[in-house]
Structure formats: structure tokens, C-alpha cells
Structure 1
Amino acid sequence: MSDLSLTILAETASDALPIERLHQRTFGPGRFVLSAYRLREHVDHLLDLSFTARIGTLLVGSVRQLPICIGDTPALLLGPLTVEPPFRSRGVGRALLDRALKDAKAKGHRLVLLVGDEAYYSRVGFKPVPKGRAIMPGPVDYNRLLVAELVEGAFTDVSGAVRPDWSMAK
């Protein structure tokens, strides 16, 4: 990252359209059928826990987190995390993840769930969800369902359907 002057900032409402365009370029239209998008249809992401990565004024990455429940336990769903292709493998995604998890923990959140690549996300503490412990809406590859405990032992007795946290719905 030494050759980039990267700035990580909390997402603002004015970032919505540039982020949507970034998602279109990096994920395409197929993203809407994914189970994580089923959750995003019902509750907004939290701007204070969602971040942009910029080099100067150029948006090069984004990560969002939204409030969910696993059974009756509050948690966050991280994603999507995306970085413009020319800036991948340069630490942008890691910087976004580090900030998102640090701020979530600082604000009292205990668990973060995501659907993603274990080899990538395990570097920041994500582990596979044991089979049957969390049930996602719609189709999901349960081998890619991961959880990070922001507080040790926070996932120990948690199980159930993953749903939007309606108490946080807008």
C-alpha cells in the first residue's frame, strides 16, 4: 500500500450511486439472486459501519454492513466488499475490512457474518459457520458462510435463521 495514498471514510448518502456503479462493474446483474441480497432488500446498511476507499477523489473500494439477527442474536452482515480490479492485491480490501471490524467492535457489536472465500477472510478472523447453525434465506453455499467473533465466545450458543434486524429497519 506504500505506493497508494489511500483514505478510508465512513460511507455517506452521496456515495450510494458511485458504489452501485462499482457493484455493477464488479459483480454484474447476477448479484441480485444471492441470498445476502435477500437480506439487503429489507434493511438498509449502516452508514457509520460501511466504508469507502479512495485514492484522492477516486472511489476504489467499498464495504457495507447491515444489521441482522441469527435466531434472536443481533449480528452484522458484512458485504459486499468490492475493490476496483486495477487496485486489487494492493491492500485496499484488507484496509476496508480492518476498519469495518474495528469500528463494529468499538460500537459494541459482537458478531459479523458473511458469505465469502475462507482463504481470504480467515486472515481477519472469520471462520466457517458449523453446518446447520445459521440458515440463510435463499440459495447459499454453506461452505462459504463465515463468522467473526468480535468478542470471544460470542457465537458459542448462537443458531437459527438469519434475518434482517427489524429493530434497525428504516
Structure 2
Amino acid sequence: MELARETDADGPEVEALLDTCFAPGRRALSSYRLREGVPPARNLCLVARASGGEVAAAVRYWPVRVGTHDAMLLGPIAVHPTRQGEGLGAWIMGASLDRAAVAGVKRILLVGDAPYYGRFGFRRLDGVIMPPPTNPERVLGLWDWDGVAGEVVRAT
């Protein structure tokens, strides 16, 4: 497995992977409204390619604002269904978090399952409000969220 930073050329393959994993209706999710018209943080977006060259997993990050604070919205993260259960999700997640730490990212936000993401250190964020309809129980954060509250909005 080869891990590399996502490039523009990877975009169509990553989008196909995301459609496979989440269906095209994924774009109706509230987190996608935060991504519209905002380029991803390419230095943090990763793809894992299998020995045959195909994209087996991918993770993306997007800049957002919470009140007066900058944050990175992690997601989507996807592993091709034929490769699930091999640890690729945890591997690409760990690599992307390491990259974010080195880049000086202060806080990461995602919408997901606390039992899964808790093993990476994510915790529920009280007072951080994602656009509706988002279950507040699924709004999770990592690193410096002390005193950060408010609505999550698109980075400008």
C-alpha cells in the first residue's frame, strides 16, 4: 500500500470511491454545505493506493470556522468495500492526524461515531453547532477545543 498526498489528478478516483462508499446522496449532508466553494486542505488530504494502483482509501480535510476560531473539518474518510477490515481506515486516519499535527493544526472537527473515533482521541463537543440536520451527539473534536463554541461555518 502506498500513501500519498491527494492531487487534483486523484480527484475523479477519490470521488468514485466516495460514491461507492456513501452513495451520491452524500452531497446532501450538512457537512457538504461547509465544503461548497472552498478548496480542500490539500496538504492534509491523503490517498492510499493498492499494489495495482487503485485508490483503496482516502481522507480529506476542509477549513472551517467556529466562532472566531479556525478548525479543520475531517471527512470524508473512506475505505473501498473490498478492503474494509484490513485496518486501512485506522492507518490513513493516523497518518492524516500526524500530518495535521506537524502542520500546526490546532483543532479538528468531524461528524461521526464516538466509539470509533474516540480511539483516536476525539470527544463530543458541547456548544459546537453543525448546520442542521446534524445530531449533536455526533459532533466530535480533537485537540484544542477549550472555550471554543458557536456555529460551524465555511472558511472564507
Match in the other structure for 2:22: 27
SS of equivalent to 1:103: helix
C-alpha distance in 2 between matches for 1:85 and 1:45: 24
Match in the other structure for 1:74: 70
C-alpha distance in 2 between matches for 1:11 and 1:75: 20
Match in the other structure for 2:45: 50
- Provide structure 1 residue ranges, at least 5 long, that are not aligned to the other structure: 1-5
- Report how far residue 42 of structure 1 moved: 3.0
Runs of at least 4 residues off by over 4 Å: none
SS of equivalent to 2:43: helix
- Report how far residue 161 of structure 1 moved: 0.9
2:81 pairs with 1:91: no
C-alpha distance in 1 between matches for 2:50 and 2:24: 27
8 Å CA contact 1:38–1:138 kept in 2: the answer is no
2:118 pairs with 1:122: yes
8 Å CA contact 1:8–1:95 kept in 2: the answer is no
- Report how far residue 91 of structure 1 moved: 1.0
2:117 pairs with 1:142: no
- Report how far residue 138 of structure 1 moved: 2.9
TM-score where L is the length of structure 1: 0.88
C-alpha distance in 1 between matches for 2:7 and 2:27: 23
2:32 pairs with 1:37: yes
C-alpha distance in 1 between matches for 2:58 and 2:25: 19
2:153 pairs with 1:163: yes
C-alpha distance in 2 between matches for 1:122 and 1:8: 23
- Report how far residue 141 of structure 1 moved: 1.2
2:3 to 1, 8, 25: 8
- Report how far residue 100 of structure 1 moved: 1.1
TM-score where L is the length of structure 2: 0.96
Deviation string for 1:133-169 (max 9, x for gaps)? 11112311111110011xxxx2111011101221xxx
> What is the aligned-residue identity percentage?
35
